[in-house]
Amino acid sequence: MVAIRELHAIEEFEQVITLFDDIWHFEPARRPVSAELMLALAHAGNYVCGAFDGDRLVGASVGFFGAGAALHSHITGVLRSPGTGLALKLHQRRWALERGLDRITWTFDPLVRRNAHFNLAKLGARPEEYLPAFYGVMDDGLNQGDEGDRVLAVWRIGDPRVAELAEGRPVTVRVPPDAVVALADEGGRPVPGRADAATVLVAVPADIERLRATDPGAAKAWRHAVRETLGDMLAEGRKITGFHDKSYYVVESM
């Protein structure tokens, strides 16, 4: 089992930089955080923590206080260590609750299926805003020139449903029989469908990172299709209420 603790020394923050570079292959000038900034954030009482397997750093998370009673989780990365991502998020939740916060926010790429499943189905967070080209065109090793669309996830850490998931009790998302598919995956390509129902399903590709490398045209088609489908529905006031079958966003009219 990994041990998670707050970080304070510049040498520890340099280890975090190395970890993040191993995951995302950042160019030095494009790193989202520096060792010096992590030092300043930690010194000011923000969330800068590492997950250790023995003496080896296998995960890290950097967050800072946001507007209202919120912690914004800026970047979290785990390197080949199953279960560490969940352990980090649960530690982050406990840390925030101890400080009287009521929510944790972060952004993630809506096309990355495993992250959507983790954030919505395992943690109980909910995407509340679609942010097109939030990071512009990205050039790290995983994103490979893709437009940096993100959704803003809001994790209401005191919600009973979130507490149940944190205790390891699954919460079922029920999809009604009259739900329709607004975006389908057919042969690895996005195919628009219907959106004229109270509950709508929006597919994302099985592996967008592989697709960026093997078929950039298909990856771009998925980016624009999800932006136009999911982004437009959120802008209309619909709500994402879950992630179904590890494949589809569940979107409901509220």
Written as tens digits, the pLDDT of the chain (254 aa) is 899 999 999 999 999 999 999 999 888 888 999 999 999 999 999 999 999 999 999 999 999 999 999 999 999 999 988 999 999 999 999 999 999 999 999 999 999 999 999 999 999 999 999 999 887 665 554 555 567 899 999 999 999 999 999 999 988 888 999 999 999 999 999 999 999 999 999 999 999 989 988 999 999 999 999 999 999 999 999 999 999 999 999 999 97
Those residues with Cβ within 8 angstroms of residue 85's Cβ, 6 or more apart along the chain or in another chain? 59, 76, 78, 118
Element (H, E) at 157: none
What domains can be seen in the chain, in order of their start residue? 1-101 (3.40.630.30), 180-252 (no CATH)
Distance CA 193, CA 200 (A): 10
CA–CA gap between residue 8 and residue 42 (Å, rounded):
6
- Is the distance from CB of 151 to CB of 130 less than 8 angstroms? yes
Q: CB within 8 A of 47, min separation 6: which ones?
A: 6, 41, 61, 62, 63, 64, 71, 73, 92, 95, 96
